[in-house]
Amino acid sequence: MSPPFEGGNQINTGFVQKKPETNVISINVGGQLFQTTKQTLALSGSNSILSKISSSSVYNEVTIPFIDRDPEIFSILLSLLRTGNLPSKAKVYDLQDLIFEAKFYGIESLLVNSVSNPSQFEGFNLEKSFLLPLNGRDSVSVISATPYGSIHVAHGSKITSFDWSLNRKSTILTEFLAIDSLVAIDSSLAAAGATDFSGLQILDLKNGVVKERVVWENQTRSSSTVQAIGTNGAHLFTSFESGRRNSSSIMVFDINEGFKPVTEVGQHEIYGAEINSGIPATKLKWVDSFNLLMASGSHGGPSGITGNVKLWDLRSRKIYWEFNEKVDCFADVTVCDDLGCIFKVGVNSGEVYFADMRKLSSEKPWVCIGDERKGFGKKKEGLGCKIESHGNQVFCSKNGDIELWSEVVLGNKGDGDRLFRRNLMGRMKDMGKNRVTQIGFGGNKMIVSRKDEQCVEVWQSSVRGF
């Protein structure tokens, strides 16, 4: 009688004798004999068919197991177990075929780690590879991705999700007329909010339902809209503004405890004409190395665009550092944990600046790393520019082009001097397209959206095996 393995009647045993107590395991897959070791099969994980074969004393000492599957694809997956990487011959197979077989053997996580690992991200080698089309006529408003490459795209009132392989997608209709903030919690769960619809919603994207609703209880007891969402994996950070637009706050929720409120920071009330005191945060980024939350927001008025950048210590609920932007306020701002710097692109000049977090000052924290053009006239050269960091690199969009900024390490550099260099990304045929509206990162890929386009671009470098 055959032992009870997964896969129904697709695994049977023969009666070919084997030498007892050997470390070598033989497996018959689709009529082709494979030999490997117990240690290699054990790498497949405790729930895998292959791991069960490795640990079965019946199989090890008496019989050779037979698995009624494709032997050629099995040879590729066995190579994946041995080396952790797909062999070059995997290129001849469709990725979906490999995924289907990997799921059968229970080793899909190993395939994901090989094909879409964040450590494989190579900023200098990224090229626009293909487009992911969206349903409907709405252009993209927000992009968010998981570390291993599942992507959620908000367009109009819909959210379209792509799995880590980007070959399978699903679309749900939300209660929002338009979605302004979106954060991927995992491959099937996301937090979403809108500036004209009250409350934060935790969406089950697989089933298309709202799992949780959270509303900020402000002093005026008016509705509260979401201005920004951020996460550090364990907590969800949400910037709320009251419906009357006279108060704002940042709430911290525990993801692992059913989105239970943990703490509240940055609550502001606007009194009289002091509107700058209550600018809500429109961007939230966690800085893991410093254990701080960066919150930034800006406001356009008769005197131009003003704003502020704050670093919050959530334990003390106090501001670690704050800078009020007046001269060349940011069009967009981000923080790069690996470089220990805050980066911004000036709304007037269009220049890229950085502030070293190890020596922040309240006087002149920003150092220009661009051409230092004095574009402070009526024309706002940086308007609409986006800036995001990934790893130790910074990506900044200028209209339809994308710049990559990286630090150049010089052996004889002076104390405190830091040098950054710019590279234009993509091939000539990728230049001069519509203005970039969103930049996101997932796995080893960069995701880009453009104004008035109903699709997202996937930028990637070549992956071993594909």
Give tens-digit pLDDT for 60-99.
Answer: 455 788 999 999 999 999 999 999 999 989 989 999 999 9
- Judged by DSSP in three states, 250 sits in strand
Tell me the CATH architecture of domain 24-116.
2-Layer Sandwich (3.30)
pLDDT of residue 464: 53
pLDDT of residue 4: 40
pLDDT of residue 462: 66
Q: How far apart are CA 187 and CA 71, in angstroms?
A: 31
How distant is the alpha carbon of residue 176 from its chain centre?
22
Q: Which two tokens stand for residue 220?
A: 């005026």
Q: How far apart are CA 128 and CA 143, in angstroms?
A: 17
Q: How far apart are CA 326 and CA 307, in angstroms?
A: 7
pLDDT of residue 276: 61
pLDDT of residue 259: 94
Q: Among 348, 342, 369, which residue's Cα sits nearest to residue 423? A: 369
pLDDT of residue 3: 43
Element (H, E) at 59: helix 57-61
pLDDT of residue 411: 63
Q: How far apart are CA 74 and CA 310, in angstroms?
A: 53
pLDDT of residue 201: 96
- Judged by DSSP in three states, 152 sits in strand
Contact 406, 421 (CB under 8 A): yes
- Per-residue confidence in pLDDT tens, the chain, 466 aa: 444 444 444 545 444 444 455 688 899 999 999 999 989 999 998 889 998 887 764 444 557 889 999 999 999 999 999 999 999 899 899 999 999 999 999 999 999 999 999 988 999 999 999 999 999 899 999 999 999 999 999 999 999 999 999 988 999 999 999 999 999 999 999 999 999 999 999 999 999 999 999 988 876 666 899 999 999 999 999 999 988 888 899 999 999 999 999 999 988 877 544 556 678 999 999 999 999 999 999 988 777 788 999 999 999 999 999 999 888 899 999 999 999 999 999 999 999 999 999 989 777 899 999 776 554 555 788 999 999 999 999 999 998 999 999 999 876 555 567 899 999 998 877 777 899 999 999 999 999 999 999 999 999 986 555 5
Q: What is the pTM of this model?
A: 0.87
Give tens-digit pLDDT for 118-170.
Answer: 988 999 999 999 999 999 899 999 999 999 999 999 999 999 999 999 988 99
- Residue 139: CB atoms within 10 Å: 17
pLDDT of residue 62: 57
Element (H, E) at 100: helix 95-105
